[in-house]
Structure 1
Amino acid sequence: MEMTNISAGRESLSSVNSTIFNVLYYSFFTSAFSINMVLGLPANCYILWLSVKGMIQGQSTKIFKVNGALIEIIFCFAFFFAIGVYFFHCVDCWLPLVFLGQLLLVGRPLFLSFICLERYLGVLHPLIFLKLKPVKYRIALCFVGWIAIIYSCVIGTMGHIQYYNSLLPQLLFFYFVKLYSCLMVLKGLMRPGPGDDVKKRNGVNKDKSKAFQIILVLLVFSTLTYGPIFVSLVLYYILDLEKFLLSWSISLFLAILLGLVYPFLDLRRVGNLPFC
């Protein structure tokens, strides 16, 4: 009987209404959306402006950062729908809130994977990187990426595929792409290159060390961001509805807050972070 109730709860999980979330741990979501709105919106708007400025100056590699910043900025407006759902019980706000949540969960790792693959090609396969350097290739890749993101969000929001079932393989795929790319880049950066001994003696081999630190930090924070989500999505098949929603809300809270590391790390890297 207990297993039957759990199965019934899982089948109806894609249509959970705002009343359940009002009772179950809504403070995690509202606090995360509020912090993301206050800190994430200005930071990502600044990143977007710097990236667009770089693209105008001919830096085609900035296009993935432009799209990643757009994803983050669009998601910031989920704050208003969350307020409508949790405090005013607005049923019509539920679908756009779910859509924007999936937009972040799928879009952020997708464009971060593109950035990691780009660095992988630049470090380990420079000839291929130069061949694919024209901006038209990156625009085509972003166009395909946006189609995949919107398609995934629409079918998940409309309930054709329960998004808890579809998220796990998607996020695992993006994570392993980033993991492989980052590990290969770290391995390539550790390998001595032509003239490295001379650079070390002259004390000018700082770019390689800086790139190594940036890739390592991105890899660590990516693991910390998506690790709890992976655990929670696995618990979806084990726990009952209430316990799963608790683990899911905590994992999303951590993912949203840790996601703020990326724009601030980028601003610090380019020397535009205030007070640093």
Structure 2
Amino acid sequence: MNNSTVNFTTPEISTNSTTQSIGVLDCLEICVYSINLFFSLPTHSYIIWLIITGTESGVASEFFILNLSFGEIGICLNSLVFILSMWISSLKILDAFLLGLIFTGRPLFQCLICVERYLAVVHPVTFLKFKPLRYRVICCTAAWIIILGSCLCCMYTIVPHNTVHMWFFSLQFLHFFFIQLFCLVAVLRALKQSGPGERRRERKVENGIKKRTFDLILITTVTMVISYVPYSIAGVFFHCHRKA
């Protein structure tokens, strides 16, 4: 996960050995972020180009993915800012600000994609009602406002009040996780049920759509757990260690 390593240490508890080895750690971080920058930036730029140059219905149907790719471009920019902040200390504020894209932007748009797929399978009438592009634009506008608030929260809390940010990040992760888990279980139940009077071919096609939706939500949920759980545990562990 790009630049999602949060420094849970404080200047008061830093040791000389840590100070001596920080150069090696910085070089390792620079290598990781550089690899992410060089691979993620062209990949998501290509995704954006494919969606924009497609048909109008393509832009509408993949609007959440389009916004997710824009968020990933911002995360790539965060990698570049982090690398430059090694030599330009004034960029550390911008680096902390862009962390909001990692902590909130990525999981929020992933969650919106999962909810959209859930509505398409479990509540198709509601999905068709809110299918027009204007409803997706409203949702994404609200999402970007939330992301902006998260960026400001990171900028003002991640350095001076690390504990506050840790609890905020953990609660936010649990919120997104339970929403996606609910969508996953609901789609799984719909996958096991068959409507009355369905033909075998129609049932097979519908089950194929449900299966792809289930796989997408499952992969997204597992990816989010693998990406964010270690940092939530590390933050809680550090908080308990400080209180002890």
Per the TM superposition, whether the score is higher than 0.5 is yes
Q: Which moved more, 1:188-197 or 1:130-139?
A: 188-197
Shift of 1:72: 0.3
From 117, 120, 123, the equivalent of 1:122 is: 120
CA distance in 1, matches of 2:114, 2:171: 19
From 149, 152, 155, the equivalent of 1:151 is: 149
Alignment correspondent of 2:96? 98
Shift of 1:219: 2.7
Matching of residues 216-227 of structure 1 within 5 Å: 216-227=218-229
1:165 aligns with 2:167: yes
Look up the SS of the partner of 1:144 in the other structure: helix
Matching of residues 1-276 of structure 1 within 5 Å: 22=22, 25-54=25-54, 56-57=56-57, 59-86=59-86, 88=87, 90-159=88-157, 162-193=164-195, 198-199=200-201, 206-239=208-241
**Residue deviations 1:9-30 (CA, integer Å, cap 9, x gap):** 66989xxxxx899458334532
What's the C-alpha RMSD, in Å, of the aligned pairs? 3.2
Residues 33 and 194 of structure 1: CA distance in aligned 2, closer, same or farther (over 3 Å): farther
Contact 1:186–1:216 (CA under 8 A) maintained in structure 2:
no
Contact 1:52–1:62 (CA under 8 A) maintained in structure 2:
no
Question: What is the TM-score with the length of structure 2 in the denominator?
Answer: 0.78
Contact 2:190–2:210 (CA under 8 A) maintained in structure 1:
no
CA distance in 1, matches of 2:119, 2:208: 21
Shift of 1:132: 0.9
CA distance in 2, matches of 1:96, 1:21: 25
CA distance in 2, matches of 1:131, 1:234: 42
CA distance in 1, matches of 2:26, 2:234: 17
Shift of 1:45: 1.0
Residues 185 and 240 of structure 1: CA distance in aligned 2, closer, same or farther (over 3 Å): same
**Residue deviations 1:147-205 (CA, integer Å, cap 9, x gap):** 11111211320338643232111122112211211222222223234566713998996
CA distance in 1, matches of 2:125, 2:49: 30
**Any unmatched runs of 5+ in structure 1?**
1-8, 14-18, 242-276
Task: Determine which structure has greater relative contact order: mean sequence separation of CA pairs < 8 Å that are 6+ residues apart, divided by chain length.
Answer: 1
Residues 175 and 132 of structure 1: CA distance in aligned 2, closer, same or farther (over 3 Å): same
CA distance in 1, matches of 2:67, 2:21: 31
Contact 1:45–1:73 (CA under 8 A) maintained in structure 2:
yes
**Any unmatched runs of 5+ in structure 2?**
1-8, 14-18
Residues 79 and 58 of structure 1: CA distance in aligned 2, closer, same or farther (over 3 Å): closer
Residues 195 and 236 of structure 1: CA distance in aligned 2, closer, same or farther (over 3 Å): farther
Contact 1:55–1:63 (CA under 8 A) maintained in structure 2:
no
Contact 2:110–2:220 (CA under 8 A) maintained in structure 1:
no
Q: Percent identity?
A: 31
Contact 2:180–2:217 (CA under 8 A) maintained in structure 1:
no
Residues 230 and 24 of structure 1: CA distance in aligned 2, closer, same or farther (over 3 Å): farther
Question: What is the TM-score with the length of structure 1 in the denominator?
Answer: 0.70
Amino acid across the alignment from 2:179 = V
Equivalent residue pairs, number: 226
